[in-house]
Amino acid sequence: MSSVARTRRRGATAGSLLTAAVAAALVLPAGAVADDTPGGSSEGGKVMSKAPDGVQPETTLPEKITVDNKTGKTKGLVATVSNTGTKDSGKISLAVVGFDGLTVKDVPGCTPIPENKLPKGSNSGFTCPLSNLSAGKSKSFKVAATFDLAKTGKICLPVQSADGRTTFWQQGPVPFGTTSPSPNAPVTPLLLNTVNKPATPAGDKGGGTGSGKGELPSTGPADRVLPLGAVGAALMAAGGAGLWWTRRRTT
């Protein structure tokens, strides 16, 4: 083969590889977790208010995470928001909120919710604004959290309009936990939709707060979700995304 032919073949090969690389970059939305995104479950999720035509937001959580028995840090906790509709979402917001023994410490790329703006009963939270989520696409956020194995723990993922006035979808508050605590092991596996049974001192058969699969905390019908317009506006002014709901307690 002549040197000219070899040069042309190398040029064609390089061009093909460059085209493939560009095409791959265009397929994945910026910041999204791709191949290593774990499979998730939308258990405990419910449509709250009608989203714009063709837009169907949904969230998922991993079915299993672990907690380090020494540090209390969780591993494998990922919050994923998807648009299973046929049209782009436009600006929306995902919130990640912790309850009871589950405390959200950080969600990279998201804004902490001020303590005085947290929903009733929650202990921590972050808002994650998205400029757009294309039809059929999803974006995952790695959640740094701690879990107090002496308590039950829940997490909630609402998806809102950018101004925080409308909640399109809400998953939870849904529990993570185990019915077989293992305080002497390095880590304890926690399962989604399982009420945690705290470890008790040797010989003490009491103290548990759940047995087996716990009843999923009700996401509630749309009329029980009260939008906080003022809170949404305050968070928007602070550079975050609006918060979604005040839970009405039943007595």
Task: Assess whether 212 and 126 both reside in one domain.
Answer: yes
Task: Assess whether 5 and 44 both reside in one domain.
Answer: no
Q: Which two tokens stand for residue 80?
A: 């994923």
pLDDT, position 39: 63
d(Cα 216, Cα 167) in Å, to the nearest integer?
20
Is the pTM value of this prediction over 0.75?
no
Q: Which of 28-32, 122-126, 137-141 has the lowest mean pLDDT?
A: 28-32
Q: Is the pLDDT of residue 42 over 70?
A: yes
Beta strands per DSSP E along 153-216:
153-161, 167-177, 187-192
Domain that holds residue 77: 35-247
Q: What is the mean pLDDT of the chain?
A: 75
Bridge-based pairing of strands 74-75 and 138-142 is unpaired
> How many domains, in total, are found in the chain?
2
pLDDT, position 1: 55
Task: Assess whether 89 and 207 both reside in one domain.
Answer: yes
Task: Assess whether 123 and 90 both reside in one domain.
Answer: yes
3-state SS string for 120-144: CCEEEEEEEEECCCCCCCEEEEECE
Q: Which amino acid is at 229?
A: G
Percent of the chain topping pLDDT 90: 59
Task: Assess whether 20 and 48 both reside in one domain.
Answer: no
Q: Is the pLDDT of residue 12 over 80?
A: no
Cα angle for residues 248, 115, 160 (degrees, 5° grid) = 60
Task: Assess whether 142 and 214 both reside in one domain.
Answer: yes
pLDDT, position 48: 96
Task: Assess whether 11 and 42 both reside in one domain.
Answer: no
Task: Assess whether 16 and 40 both reside in one domain.
Answer: no
pLDDT, position 219: 52
Residue whose token pair is 């494998």: 76
Percent of the chain topping pLDDT 70: 63
Task: Assess whether 83 and 177 both reside in one domain.
Answer: yes
Task: Assess whether 84 and 54 both reside in one domain.
Answer: yes
Q: List, for residues 182-208, the tens digit of each pLDDT value.
A: 878 999 999 999 999 987 654 344 433
Beta bridge partners of 130: 92
